[in-house]
């Protein structure tokens, strides 16, 4: 039985799939595979020793924990910013809209140095905070701050177009049905935005986990205090302990993948609930 | 519930959306606001609903000032042209929304809410869709769910903004009939906005014709069709032949040709309006107008002909019964059986 050549109204599947796979392999899959191959230089016990050492565990905790907290803060702050930018007309709105993108464009080192200068104990903001007994620069709080800084555009830029598309009539319908403003926001608007919010959260989180440039300036980088996992990887590299470095990288990779996978499923679930393609 | 609207003015920048509008709606009425886009009909509806506020004027429900209350406190059901359903909620939850957001003190129990939603879904004949999501429904189904949702709060007034505007012709026709029946069943004072004259004339008890922020005429469907109060109403509702005429000393002239018809109260440059089916066709010399048949088509019981009037060759379109077949090239006379002359030619 010879299969007739399949005709499609969207030709080019073979070509585009081939290019996609080649590109993804070259840029992502092969380097990542290298990571696993290099890690395999270590025996299992060496690997476990490396990744369960206090210093590594602490660095991972700092990176993932603070990234998660920063993404949560960005979620709330980002929603408020989006709301103001989309729903109100005020002088300078376009300027503020442009400012949101600065963390995207600014070299991260510049951001790190600027934040450090600002929050150092003699800085404009650091000094008054220090007099209240709050130390920001060279502590985990500083890391958290840098992560908030670089994550904010992700939430804003993913939620903004969805909120723009959200029909004002939906809010009017809720108001006519007797819903208070608060009920309209919590029961109608936020649920409609949930898929976009989750995406923005995942992106902000992923970016913060991998952030290096801006964090290392403000972190102070004290082992077991304010050392992030990416920095520990760089330190291991500079000590020529390549396999140790890749071992930490593998753990980060697997963790990040799992978390983003879960967020992705959540987002898919929220979306199918909205679009209900059952 | 009666609605009274007095001296409403609403301006958007230089554009006057509503210019001193007065309207009384009787209890249990089904009223249509009919007009072209930009005539102010939707602005008026939104002001009654509490979704917009007028620059000046009063709105009262049963004599009680409605402008002092927000949309949520007016107990008004509002149906939007594009449904405005909550897409993340099932049909059931959409309908239940108005009941769930009530203050705890007056909120119904879960069992009561379920019973009420069931009852409403039965009313709109869509109880089998309770667990679907809005995106899984057809346009007509969505609009019926939107209506059920609006009725859930037992509104004192039902307002519908171009409710069938986004639907295709067949569904539109079905829903029209259905809305009519529903209104007879529940009898809540209702106002709907439409730009479709057929819809207004078919569904409403009374029709309010609006243009440029003003009410042109209020009357029963028969009234606005048979006795249009203004030139605008005559040309907007039904198909009309419009001819520029000149009236002096009670004599009506089309160009230089005197027409042997009564001028009524008009004088000076005016417009003669005749319904297409109100032109009587006769042999030459027996009517006020003369012309030549240019083209004939038939639609079921009628034939429609383009007639070039003698003189300046103005083309008019007339509808005639098929008992006197017309053929291209016939020279005929036309006599308006019923007509109106309105002064002014703009």
- Averages of pLDDT over each 10 residues, chain A, 278 residues: 64 89 91 88 87 89 93 94 91 91 88 89 86 84 91 93 90 92 92 89 91 87 85 90 88 88 85 56
Query: Which pLDDT does position A277 carry in this prediction?
Result: 40
Domain count along chain A: 1
**Mean pLDDT over residues B51-59, rounded?**
92
Residue B71, beta-bridge partner list: none
d(CA B61, CA B49): 11
For residue A131, what is the domain's CATH number?
1.10.3720.10
Q: Encoding tokens for residue B315?
A: 């083309």
B282 confidence band (pLDDT: 50, 70, 90): confident
Q: Does A170 touch chain B (CB under 8 A)?
A: yes
In terms of DSSP bridges, do strands B30-34 and B189-194 run parallel, antiparallel, or are they unpaired? parallel
Task: Please indicate whether residue B172 or residue A1 has the higher confidence score (pLDDT).
Answer: B172
Domain boundaries B239-343, corresponding CATH code: 2.40.50.140
Residue A27 lies in a domain: no
At residue B121, the pLDDT reads: 93
Tell me whether strands B189-194 and B157-161 are parallel, antiparallel or unpaired: parallel
Cβ–Cβ of A176/B102 closer than 8 Å?
Answer: no
CA distance B78 to chain A (A): 7
pLDDT tens across A230-256, in order? Answer: 988 999 999 988 888 888 999 999 988
Of B72, B87, B135, the CB nearest to A176: B72
Closest alpha carbon to B43 in B215, B188, B248: B215
CA distance A260 to A212: 19
| CB nearest to B78's CB, from A173, A188, A191 | A173
In a domain, A130, yes or no: yes
Nearest by Cα to B317 from B346, B284, B290, B295: B295
Residue of B nearest to A167 (CA): B84
Query: What tokens were used for A119?
Result: 């929050």
Contact B101 A273 (CB under 8 A): no
- List, for residues B284-326, the tens digit of each pLDDT value: 878 888 888 999 998 888 889 999 888 777 888 998 888 888 8
The Cα A127–Cα A120 span in angstroms is 7
pLDDT of residue B44: 94
Mean pLDDT of B109-115: 93
Q: Over the stretch B224-276, which tens digit does the pLDDT of each residue have?
A: 998 899 989 998 988 888 888 888 887 888 877 888 788 777 788 888 899 98
Q: Per the domain annotation, does A2 fall within a domain?
A: no
Cβ contact (<8 Å) for A178 and B153?
Answer: yes
CB B212 within 8 A of CB B229: no
Strand pairing partners for B159? B78, B191
Give the CATH class of B3-232. alpha beta
Is A170–B72 a contact, with Cβ atoms under 8 angstroms apart? no
Residue A4, in any domain of the structure: no
A contact test, residue of B75, B84, B163 with most A CBs within 10 A = B84
Q: Counting Cβ atoms within 10 Å, is residue B51 exposed (0-12), middle (13-18) or buried (19+)?
A: buried
Q: Which of B283, B258, B252, B290 is nearest to B270 (CA)?
A: B252
Q: Does A113 touch chain B (CB under 8 A)?
A: no
Rounded to the nearest integer, the mean pLDDT of chain B is 89
How many Å apart are CA B96 and CA B92, to the nearest integer?
Answer: 6
Q: What is the pLDDT of residues B184-223, one digit of tens each?
A: 988 899 999 999 898 999 999 999 999 999 999 999 999 9
Residue B149 with chain A: CB contacts under 8 Å:
173, 177
**What pLDDT was estimated at residue A278?**
35
The domain containing residue A76 runs over which residues? 44-275
The residue extents of the domains of chain B are 3-232, 239-343
pLDDT of residue B261: 81
CB contact under 8 Å between B71 and A174, yes or no, is no
For residue B80, CA distances in Å to B84, B85, B126, B210, B277 come to 6, 9, 19, 20, 36
pTM: 0.79
Same fold for the domain at B3-232 and the one at B239-343?
no
Q: Is A194 on the interface with B (CB under 8 A)?
A: yes
**Chain A residues within 8 A of B97 when measuring between CB atoms:** 174, 177, 179, 187
Give a yes or no: residue A84 inside a domain.
yes
Evaluate whether ipTM surpasses 0.90.
no
The predicted structure's pLDDT at residue A175: 92
Check whether B46 has a pLDDT greater than 90. yes
Report yes or no: A168 at the B interface, CB cutoff 8 Å: no
Classify residue A53: in a domain, yes or no.
yes
Q: Which residue in this structure is represented by tokens 């009519």?
A: B180
């Amino acid at each position: 039985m010879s299969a007739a050549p399949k005709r499609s109204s969207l030709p080019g599947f073979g070509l585009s799939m081939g290019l996609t796979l080649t590109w993804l392999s070259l840029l992502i899959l092969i380097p990542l595979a290298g990571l696993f191959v290099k890690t395999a230089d270590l025996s299992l016990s060496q690997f476990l020793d490396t990744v369960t050492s206090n210093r590594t565990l602490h660095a991972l905790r700092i990176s993932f924990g603070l990234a998660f907290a920063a993404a949560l803060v960005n979620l709330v702050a980002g929603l408020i910013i989006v709301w103001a930018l989309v729903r109100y007309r005020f002088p300078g709105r376009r300027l503020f809209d442009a400012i949101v993108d600065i963390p995207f464009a600014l070299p991260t080192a510049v951001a790190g140095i600027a934040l450090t200068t600002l929050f150092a104990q003699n800085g404009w903001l650091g000094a008054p905070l220090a007099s209240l007994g709050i130390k920001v620069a060279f502590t985990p709080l500083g890391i958290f701050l840098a992560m908030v800084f670089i994550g904010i555009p992700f939430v804003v830029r993913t939620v903004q177009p969805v909120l723009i598309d959200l029909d004002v009539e939906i809010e009017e319908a809720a108001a006519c049905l007797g819903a208070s403003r608060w009920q309209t926001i919590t029961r109608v608007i936020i649920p409609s935005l949930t898929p976009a919010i989750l995406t923005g959260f995942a992106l902000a989180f992923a970016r913060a986990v991998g952030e290096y440039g801006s964090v290392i300036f403000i972190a102070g980088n004290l082992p077991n205090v304010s050392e992030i996992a990416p920095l520990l990887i760089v330190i291991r590299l500079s000590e020529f302990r390549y396999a140790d470095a890749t071992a930490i990288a593998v753990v980060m990779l697997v963790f990040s993948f799992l978390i983003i996978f879960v967020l992705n499923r959540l987002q898919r679930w929220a979306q199918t609930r909205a679009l209900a393609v059952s | 519930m009666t609605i009274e609207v007095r001296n409403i003015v609403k301006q958007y920048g230089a554009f006057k959306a509503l210019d001193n509008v007065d309207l009384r709606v009787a209890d249990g009425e089904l009223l249509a606001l009919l007009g072209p886009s930009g005539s102010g009909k939707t602005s008026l509806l939104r002001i009654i609903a509490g979704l917009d506020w007028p620059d000046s004027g009063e709105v009262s429900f049963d004599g009680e000032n409605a402008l002092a209350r927000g949309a949520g406190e007016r107990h008004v059901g509002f149906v939007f042209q594009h449904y405005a359903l909550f897409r993340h909620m099932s049909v059931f939850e959409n309908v239940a929304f108005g009941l769930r957001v009530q203050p705890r003190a007056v909120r119904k129990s879960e069992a009561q809410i379920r019973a009420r939603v069931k009852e409403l879904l039965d009313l709109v004949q869509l109880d089998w869709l309770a667990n679907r999501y809005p995106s899984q429904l057809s346009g007509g189904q969505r609009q019926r769910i939107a209506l059920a949702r609006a009725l859930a709060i037992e509104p004192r007034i039902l307002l519908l903004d171009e409710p069938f505007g986004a639907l295709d012709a067949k569904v539109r026709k079905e829903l029209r009939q259905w809305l009519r029946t529903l209104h007879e069943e529940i009898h809540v004072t209702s106002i709907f906005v439409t730009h479709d004259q057929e819809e207004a004339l078919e569904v409403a008890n009374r029709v309010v014709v609006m243009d440029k922020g003003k009410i042109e005429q209020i009357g029963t469907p028969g009234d606005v069709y048979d006795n249009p109060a203004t030139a605008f109403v005559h040309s907007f509702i039904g198909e009309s032949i419009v001819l520029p005429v000149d009236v002096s000393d009670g004599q009506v002239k089309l160009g230089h040709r005197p027409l042997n018809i009564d001028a009524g109260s008009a004088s000076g440059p005016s417009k003669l309006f005749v319904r297409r089916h109100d032109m009587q066709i006769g042999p030459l010399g027996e009517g006020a107008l003369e012309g030549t048949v240019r083209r004939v088509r038939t639609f079921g019981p009628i034939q429609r002909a383009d007639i070039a009037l003698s003189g300046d060759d103005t083309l008019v379109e007339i509808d005639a019964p098929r008992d006197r077949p017309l053929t291209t090239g016939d020279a005929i006379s036309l006599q308006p059986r019923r007509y109106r002359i309105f002064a002014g030619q703009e």
